[in-house]
Structure 1
Amino acid sequence: MFPEITRDDVFRLETERLWLRWPRAADADEIRQHVGDPDVALMTASIPHPYAPHDADAFIASVREENGAGGGLHLVITPKNRPNEPIGLVSLHGADRRGAATFGFWLGKPYWGQGYTTEAARALIDLAFGITSLDRIVSSARPDNRSSLHVHEKLGFHRTGRGMRPAPARGGEMEVELFELKRGEAHTLFGARRPRFFSP
């Protein structure tokens, strides 16, 4: 799905306030601290709670492998003035033959309400529609997760319904609002321009 330029761990995206980069082994403690908060983990389908010490290491290894294979792109969110401190993550993964990929994200609780998720997601979505053949991006959020619903709306996603989705970390399924974003409909940060991306 993603081309060669994103498949090297020196790849990064720049926004006004943030650097988005590959997760590293050294990020494990920060990731564990943020997603170990039940207010973060329990709003997702895939983050276990409690979050065991080895969970962050396994997660980082898994997403680095997917990034390297080009099957997805998982980028930690870091403030520009603290590029070694991840505060969240945005990702696209699971592209299918119909040209759709799945969008996901989480943000550490101390950073809620400051627009970081929307800023990071716009850069990733701009990149995806600019350098891949994806036609649409799908996503979901719990109906009671007002912050996530608002992020989807700000990004230009359209609600397509409500349904049940597998939630392995929650022990079964969870009810979610379903969303879709088609190429050309995103409320992007950069307008017609592609985001700046860096890779030596």
Structure 2
Amino acid sequence: MFPDLTRDDVFRLETRRLWLRWPRLADVQAIVRLAGEKAIAEMTARIPHPYPPEDAERFIFQSRRSNADGQGLVLAITPKGKPNSLIGVVGIGPGLETGKPTLGYWLGTPHWGQGYATEAARALIDAFFAYGEEDELMASARVLNPGSRRVLEKCGFAYQGSGLAELPARGGYYPADHFRLDRRAWESLKTWGHTGLVREPASVDAGQELSLVH
């Protein structure tokens, strides 16, 4: 799904306000504190509530393994200038039901309302289409989560209809809105500058000299 460029833990994406990097074990407490909030967890497919530290550690190990083998790309969202301060997570990986590339994200409640989720999602989407070979990306949002739907719409996703989505951490299937974004639509949106989409890919830093603390 992702090329060699993204498969080293020095890979990162930089946007105007954010620095997106591989998750580390040092992020466990931030993930437990932020993702473990009921307002966050109940909108996701895989995050339990409460969120035990051992589950957060397992998530980090699984994410790093997926990043390393190219089956997905999960990145910690951090403010620019504060790369050790995780405020959320954004990722693309195989969907639970379809296996197709699917976008997912969450952002800690103290950071809502500032456009960070949209900014992070756009950067990863741009990397997905710029460096990968797949031509479409899927996403879903619970019907009672209008904030997530707005993020997807701002990223150019087209509504495909409503249905049930499997949410293992919630114990079953729940109503969700389904969305799709293809390569042609993304390139058109970038060219037109629609809804503030960046015209160039987010800057990438995958320097081989840098070592990160895990």
Q: Which category of TM-score, normalised to the shorter sequence, fits these structures?
A: over 0.9
Stretch moving more, 181-190 or 54-63: 181-190
Mapped pair 1:10 → 2:17: no
CA separation in 1, counterparts of 2:114 and 2:184?
A: 26
1:65-102 C-alpha deviation (Å, 9 max, x unpaired): 0000000000010001211011001111017xx99410
CA separation in 1, counterparts of 2:42 and 2:160?
A: 23
CA separation in 2, counterparts of 1:141 and 1:147?
A: 9
Q: Is the 8 A contact 1:99 1:134 kept in 2?
A: no
Count the aligned residue pairs. Answer: 198
1:27-47 C-alpha deviation (Å, 9 max, x unpaired): 101111101100000011111
Partner of 2:193: none
1:2-39 C-alpha deviation (Å, 9 max, x unpaired): 11110000110000000000000111011111011000
Give the counterpart of 1:190 among 171, 189, 198.
198
Partner of 2:115: 115
Question: Normalization by structure 1: what TM-score?
Answer: 0.95
Q: Show structure 2 runs of 5+ residues with no match.
A: 191-196, 208-214
Runs of 4+, deviation exceeding 2 Å: 186-190
CA separation in 1, counterparts of 2:73 and 2:53?
A: 24
Partner of 1:151: 151
1:95-129 C-alpha deviation (Å, 9 max, x unpaired): 7xx99410000000000000000001111111110
Where do residues 158-173 of structure 1 align in structure 2 (5 Å cutoff)? 158-173=158-173
CA separation in 2, counterparts of 1:99 and 1:60?
A: 20
Mapped pair 1:76 → 2:101: no
Letter of the structure 2 residue corresponding to residue 198 of structure 1: D
Q: Is the 8 A contact 1:103 1:138 kept in 2?
A: yes
CA drift of 1:194 comes to: 2.4
CA drift of 1:165 comes to: 1.4
Mapped pair 1:130 → 2:137: no
Identical pairs, percent: 50
Partner of 2:24: 24
Q: Show structure 1 runs of 5+ residues with no match.
A: none
1:119-160 C-alpha deviation (Å, 9 max, x unpaired): 011111111101111111001001110100110110110110
CA separation in 1, counterparts of 2:73 and 2:185?
A: 21
CA separation in 2, counterparts of 1:134 and 1:21?
A: 22
CA separation in 2, counterparts of 1:12 and 1:181?
A: 23
Q: Give the CA RMSD over aligned residues.
A: 1.6
CA separation in 2, counterparts of 1:126 and 1:100?
A: 17
CA separation in 1, counterparts of 2:206 and 2:167?
A: 35
CA separation in 1, counterparts of 2:30 and 2:51?
A: 12
Q: Is the 8 A contact 1:122 1:155 kept in 2?
A: yes
